[in-house]
Amino acid sequence: MRGVRARPVLLDSTLAVAVGVLLVAGAAVHGGELGDRPGLPGLVLAAAGAGPLLVRRRYPIGSLLAVIVLVCAFYLCGFRSTLGEPGILIAAYTVWARYPVRQAWPPTAIAVLGYEAAMIAGGASHPLPDTVLGLLQGAAIVLIGHSVYTRANRLRATAERAERAEREIELEARHAVVEERIRIARELHDVVSHHLSVISVQANLARYVFESAPDTARGALDTITGTTTEALDELRRLLSVLRPPRHEPGEYRPQPGLADLPALVGRLREAGLSAHLCITGTPRSLPPGQQLCAYRVAQEALTNVIKHAGDASAEVTLDYGAEGLRLLVVDSGGGAPPRANHAGHGLVGMRERARMYGGVIEIGPREPAGFGIELTLPYPNPGRSAGEP
């Protein structure tokens, strides 16, 4: 039974066949009783009264009206049904189970009036008892169908409320996560500010008394060691909360620096770009932030060459000057004019990175052809105190 309910077409087909067999078995001639068989036209017309039930789910009102038309034709042709008209009851039930009262009662009234008129016009033997029995059956079907419609609406409303409640709970959970992340960010800011302030003070103290009071300098360095260890532990604890729950091994890698530029140029050369790296001057150690800035600018510039310069070649020059680092990426030209638009997100990001480290970046076409990006980063001032920005 559960398998039949899961297949509405199979259920309706079985129901239509059963009703058709019942109508054929109860078909009789005018004024006859059960067993007074009509001719072939009467049997065919009786069986046809079950046909509209095949589409009762898709067209409930149309199915009811079609059943009434066929039943009226059956009665007006001089036949009668000795076993009742289950097709009308099933079609009416479907209408009341699918529609509210304001939509269900008009076709039902038409069906009742049509059936009554056809039964009287066809010369029914017992019109009054048949009418009373039909009205009682119809009232029961209306009540059952309307209760099914009401229950379905109630279940639908309950499901919608449950869905809204689930969405509200999900939104509240997301809001709680956002608030927790904001709290962690503030705590992270406090941790970093506090410990860096302590480290700055102790480092300045150690530098000031390094020769005059070695014990004091050693104590300051011990304080720095303990403070950094504590800060790293707290940062690790806070960042573990913000870290994605799933990550592949090796996902967290060190940020690239100037030592990775040859590998970057090599990968692009393998990808088909004619690129060369030239390093001049005496290499020196730079802070990781400045190295990352220069690397990202070179990466974005070479990416632009691939995207916009076609078959052009690129020359990357890294010059360790006397007062600052100079990075120059120039292509040989042949690209499309849209590269002259300097408001792209990549170029804006280059300027922001350069400004962050006090650098200057120049972006524009080169003579006689090509396009160039030149970054100049000043070396960090070794005489500046650790507490200065």
Beta bridge partners of 27: 81
Burial 155-167 (b: 16+ CB within 10 A, else e): eeeeeeeeeeeee
Q: CB neighbours (10 Å) of residue 79?
A: 21
pTM for this prediction: 0.46
Q: Rounded to whole angstroms, how far apart are CA atoms 359 and 187?
A: 31
Can you tell me the distance from the alpha carbon of 343 to that of 274, in angstroms, rounded to the nearest whole number?
26
SS3 call for 73: helix
The helix/strand/coil state of 72 is helix
Round to whole Å and give the CA distance between 95 and 256.
Answer: 71
First to last CA, the chain: 78
CA distance 95 to 106: 11
Q: Could you tell me the CA-to-CA distances from 158 to 97, 147, 172, 204, 265 in Å, in that order?
A: 18, 16, 21, 68, 62
Name residue 277's beta-bridge partners: 316
pLDDT at 383: 47
CB 230 within 8 A of CB 173: no
pLDDT at 375: 93
Q: What string of DSSP letters covers 130-194?
A: HHHHHHHHHHHHHHHHHHHHHHHHHHHHHHHHHHHHHHHHHHHHHHHHHHHHHHHHHHHHHHHHH
Q: Pull the structure tokens for residue 78.
A: 């001089």
Virtual torsion, Cα 128, 132, 133, 137, nearest 10 deg: 150
Q: Where are the alpha helices (DSSP H) in the chain?
A: 2-5, 8-26, 40-48, 60-76, 86-98, 101-121, 127-208, 214-242, 261-270, 288-308, 345-356
CA distance 51 to 111: 17
**Tokens at 112, concatenated:** 């009742």
For the record, the structure tokens of 9 come out as: 């077409």
Give the C-alpha separation, 200 to 77, whole Å: 108
pLDDT tens, N- to C-terminus, the chain (389 residues): 455 555 778 888 888 888 888 888 888 876 666 667 777 888 888 888 888 989 888 999 999 999 999 988 888 888 878 787 888 889 999 999 999 989 999 998 988 888 888 877 766 666 677 778 878 888 898 899 899 999 988 988 888 888 888 888 888 878 877 777 776 676 666 667 666 767 777 778 788 788 788 888 888 788 878 777 777 777 776 666 666 555 444 445 567 889 989 988 887 776 667 889 999 998 888 888 888 889 888 888 888 787 776 667 889 999 999 889 999 999 887 655 434 444 445 677 778 778 888 899 998 888 777 888 999 999 887 544 333 33
Give the number of other CB atoms < 10 A from CB of residue 378: 14
Environment class of 187 (CB within 10 Å of its CB; exposed 0-12, middle 13-18, buried 19+)? middle
The predicted structure's pLDDT at residue 377: 92
Burial bucket for residue 263 (CB in 10 Å: 0-12, 13-18, 19+): exposed
Per DSSP, 37 falls in state -
16 and 50 in contact (C-beta within 8 Å)? yes
The Cα 116–Cα 119 span in angstroms is: 5
Which residues are 362's β-sheet partners? 374
Rg (CA), the chain: 44
